[in-house]
Amino acid sequence: MLNKVDQNIQKLPLSFYTRKDVLLIAKELLGKLLVTCFDNKITTARIVETEAYNGITDKASHAYGGRKTNRNRIMYANGGHTYVYLCYGIHHLFNVVTNREEIPHAVLIRAAEPVTGIPEMLQRTQKIKPDHTLTRGPGNVSKALGISTLHSGFSLLEDIIFIADDGFVPEETSILSTPRIGVDYAGQDVLLPYRFIIKDNPFVSGKKK
DNA sequence: CTGACGATTCACT
DNA sequence: GTGAATCGTCAGC
């Protein structure tokens, strides 16, 4: 099952993030492990839902039209960095910066399945027992893993926040691509199938269930 | 300095 | 299924 962890986990190398095809990276992040290590507490979750933000031509992206502000400048850094952004004044959204310097691609992690450190996640989210709401939705993923805007700009090659491969590869037939969520302001780009999910996984966010 | 708004969530009907 | 909460960020004055 998805929550089995192999002993040998391998941190993804810089070369994974610096590739040009952000859609491919978003798809390949499905099934990978997102690991955080704060205060000596390790929490791990398997990624089951991602969204790609495709640079300056993507109306849904913060970097649309080459916009560069104090908030989003980390998107213009080299691949392999974190970009954490506060939404609605409350929710911390965790993104992975991809491609090379000056090319602002990013992948939003929208949902994950808890693997290790579940007691810590429960404490952070003030929940009594784990259920499918623990890490469903981008705001909840960050909360459970203890990620906040303070962690924006971190390198995924360090040991604080990183993404690892434990050899798990989702079935090709279990991967679906769909339009993105919550980007109605993006005009025609709303329709782009830039969201990748693992089919039938209870942690995937969205309208149904 | 001011006003408008959001890559969402949760409580409630 | 619907609607309100809530505050940092950004653009404009």
Closest residue (CA) to C1' of nucleotide C5 is A88
| Strand B contacted by A89 CB (< 7 A) | yes
Helix or strand or coil: residue A37? strand
Is residue A3 pLDDT above 80, yes or no?
no
Residue A173 CB: number of other CB atoms within 10 A? 7
pLDDT in the model for residue A102: 96
Taking the model in full, what pTM does it have? 0.93
Mean pLDDT across A184-195: 92
Per residue in A35-87, pLDDT tens?
999 999 999 999 999 999 999 999 999 999 999 999 999 999 999 999 999 99
**Among A203, A186, A190, A187, residue whose Cα is nearest residue A109:** A203
Burial (CB count within 10 angstroms: exposed 0-12, middle 13-18, buried 19+), residue A150 = exposed
Closest residue (CA) to C1' of nucleotide C11 is A69
State which nucleotides on strand B lie below 7 Å from a protein beta carbon.
Answer: 5-10
